[in-house]
Chains A and B, each alone.
Chain A
């Protein structure tokens, strides 16, 4: 049986070359560089370093720059295309932070001014502009985010829940990344010249790029190029330094080639990650030589021309690969003059005009996150394997709440008390050796404690190889401390440790190092629905994974940031945080609960969404399948969520116990991760404590549990 093919039917970019694909194409053909001295925010003379800043200035100061860039790229990708989109999947690392930084610098502390802070709000903003009714997923895998987002979009199209997806990446310049990379001494004062013998580092940049992707069995009329495959991996080596042997990069490239169903000799060009840092370029050179040996394709990195636009870079480079496949002009490796004898590779010094059938694009990031994708021409005869969304068995679970770990949480719930509050130091640090976590603040500690407890609880001998991590707000302590030290020292002495820790995927990278998990490692973010995104992502990727998977979600309470960013947290009197983790395997083990994300819809753009959800879950058959519902209603959406729940019960006639779990565990974005961890335990034991269900014996009668999310999005996770 032939599977679904994925085509690029529209593309849009905004880069330091200017607005639009044409300007990017011109820059490529002329071998120009768009690097220069940035002036987006004030930088003292002695701190000024070249960067890739987009020349056009934007007028609307209410909307952060990243959102505006993303919309500019999306508008171009969607121009001349009819119809709607079923899903939005965008890679973003810093979201609205440039605006947040400015407000904090000016002493503004009005939560209304921070509505677009979250990295997830970029994708939500684009989804709103295009009335997307389906899933909205934000991948925050540091510098590999854009490429990883495109790989996920491919899987979503191949597995069938979506037919048209807008995928890409966006990041604007900001103080956090500008001064952060500077504090790591990774910026080249001359501007990046990747792979050159005299290179000294990268140039930070900004950009957005979007691909309108369509699923089809045959080549559609408007197709520009085809996405052939993608691969994700993790170094599990160090928070920032790449594995010196390039093993993770090799794994990602090989996975992409395997996924595409082609061989190395089919690849005509590699768009290298090539940031210009000494270590990245050295490791990548080693990795491509390991994969391609004497069959080396043409090579170049565009970061000497455009700078490194972090989450956007992979998406921009996917557009470049599509242009190469369509037009046959390969960009030069701008800035490359002298070959480095330590590397023995020769990137292109000048643009080359040649027919390219397939181009491989690499992106690597902090947390050891690696992603490779392959873009090919639209040939008629291509067979691809069919794929499907995999149900997974829960073999272990863990949670942290105000009560403490899973056991303490259950004890408290059984006694009829709530578990709101902030867990103490011991509960968030678990049993992990103190020297291993000395650099970690609250969120990564929680992630590692959850991961190790869920694995221990599974009793499984085989360690998880892949990590799917959802967080509503990312590491707030590290982000706050970085900006505070930056501002307190007049932008002179920010902490490199805080910068490294501030990326959303840092806890996932730490978890991977703990388990030596070298498989896919994906971080998702989007307020109250971040854990759901992570679980959805795990299901999409599970087809390619044979070892156990770890899915976890957590959020920390931060005294300054949480009430500023999260309206539900601001409204709740008791401060709470925590999270949950589940350890999963693909095989359907006997007596183990099966978990499947069955619904993810955008309530803002679909008035009929509740009836659609009810129908999807079997309408009035629901009581025959499920013995309890865990309902997640964030306090900021109380009225709306309760109305949605009421309608859901009306449409389904459902009479099973409803557990309004945020009233029990408190307000924090990944509260649903706790609900899923608890529900997995209840399903395994076959009963729910009477204090929760209101029934004396609490038996589930072998039925499943539904975990529903209400508010801006409607989500459903079935545990059966």
Chain B
């Protein structure tokens, strides 16, 4: 079974069409915005939609977004804590 973090790596690459990034190479502790992945504020909004759709977790303010999208690990943790279902 894939973990939430692995699932998220895959979804980030697919959702944002990160053509030259291999999902496995994403460092889970590295900052998401403005880091090596080349992710910006528009990408974050696209991820917000994906997370609400796939995990039923809302991220609806800039302040919250900055905290949640600090890294992939932080994102996974936020989803775990706020999802209506139990996710490992």
Contacts and interface: CB of A to CB of B under 8 A. Distances in A.
Interface of A: 183-185, 238-241, 278, 434-435, 438-439, 489, 492-497, 500
A328 B20 CA distance: 59
Interface of B: 16-20, 38, 40-43, 45-46, 48-49, 52-53, 60-62
B49 A494 contact: yes
A489 B53 contact: yes
Contacts of A434: 19-20
B30 to A, nearest CB: 17
Contacts of B46: 495-497
Contacts of B53: 489, 492-493
Interface centre among B16, B19, B42 (most CB of A within 10 A): B42
B42 A239 contact: yes
Interface centre among B41, B43, B45, B53 (most CB of A within 10 A): B45
Contact of A493 (B20, B41, B49, B62): B49
Cβ-closest 4 pairs across A and B: A496-B45, A438-B17, A493-B53, A434-B19
Contacts, number: 44
Contacts of A239: 42
A458 B41 CA distance: 35
A496 B49 contact: yes
Contacts of A492: 52-53
Nearest to B50: A493
Contact of B42 (A278, A493, A500): A500
Given A185-B61, A185-B62, A435 B38 contact: yes
Given A438-B19, A494-B49, A497-B43, 4 more contacts: A435-B19, A438-B17, A438-B18, A496-B49
A85 to B, nearest CB: 40
Nearest to A433: B20
A240 B43 CA distance: 12
A497 B16 CA distance: 9
A435 B22 CA distance: 13
Given A434-B19, A438-B18, A185 B49 contact: no
Nearest to B21: A435
A278 B66 CA distance: 15
B23 to A, nearest CB: 15
Nearest to A278: B62
A332 B42 CA distance: 33
A242 to B, nearest CB: 12
Contacts of B52: 492-493
Contacts of B42: 239-240, 439, 496-497, 500
Nearest to B49: A493
Nearest to B41: A241
13 contacts: A185-B48, A185-B62, A240-B42, A434-B19, A435-B18, A438-B16, A438-B19, A439-B17, A439-B42, A493-B52, A495-B46, A496-B45, A497-B43
Contacts of B38: 435
A544 to B, nearest CB: 32
Contacts of A496: 42, 45-46, 49
Given A435-B38, A492-B53, A493-B52, A185 B45 contact: yes
A489 B56 CA distance: 13
A493 to B, nearest CB: 5
Nearest to A494: B49
Nearest to B40: A238
A492 to B, nearest CB: 7
B49 A435 contact: no
A618 B32 CA distance: 63
A495 B48 CA distance: 10
A434 B20 CA distance: 8
Nearest to B37: A435
A185 B60 contact: yes
A238 to B, nearest CB: 8
Contacts of B61: 185
B48 to A, nearest CB: 8
A494 B53 CA distance: 10
A183 B59 CA distance: 11
Contacts of B40: 238
Given A185-B60, A241-B41, A495 B17 contact: no
Nearest to B53: A493
A693 B31 CA distance: 60
Contacts of A439: 16-17, 42
Contacts of B45: 183-185, 496-497
A712 B53 CA distance: 46
B75 to A, nearest CB: 17
A98 B53 CA distance: 26
A495 B60 CA distance: 15
A662 to B, nearest CB: 34
Interface centre among B38, B49, B52 (most CB of A within 10 A): B49
Contacts of B18: 435, 438
Contacts of B49: 183, 493-496
Contacts of B48: 185
B49 to A, nearest CB: 5
A497 B15 CA distance: 10
Nearest to B61: A185
Nearest to A440: B17
A241 B44 CA distance: 13
Nearest to B47: A496
B54 to A, nearest CB: 10
Contacts of B19: 434-435, 438
B58 to A, nearest CB: 11
Contacts of A497: 42-43, 45-46
A240 B40 CA distance: 11
Contacts of A438: 16-19
A488 to B, nearest CB: 10
A49 to B, nearest CB: 12
A501 to B, nearest CB: 10
A434 B19 CA distance: 7
A67 B57 CA distance: 40
Contacts of A493: 49, 52-53
A495 B53 CA distance: 11
A24 to B, nearest CB: 33
A497 B19 CA distance: 16
Nearest to A189: B60
Nearest to A186: B45
A238 B42 CA distance: 10
Contacts of B20: 434-435
A185 B19 CA distance: 26
Nearest to B62: A185
Contacts of A495: 46, 49
A489 B38 CA distance: 28
A492 B61 CA distance: 17
A185 B16 CA distance: 18
A229 to B, nearest CB: 34
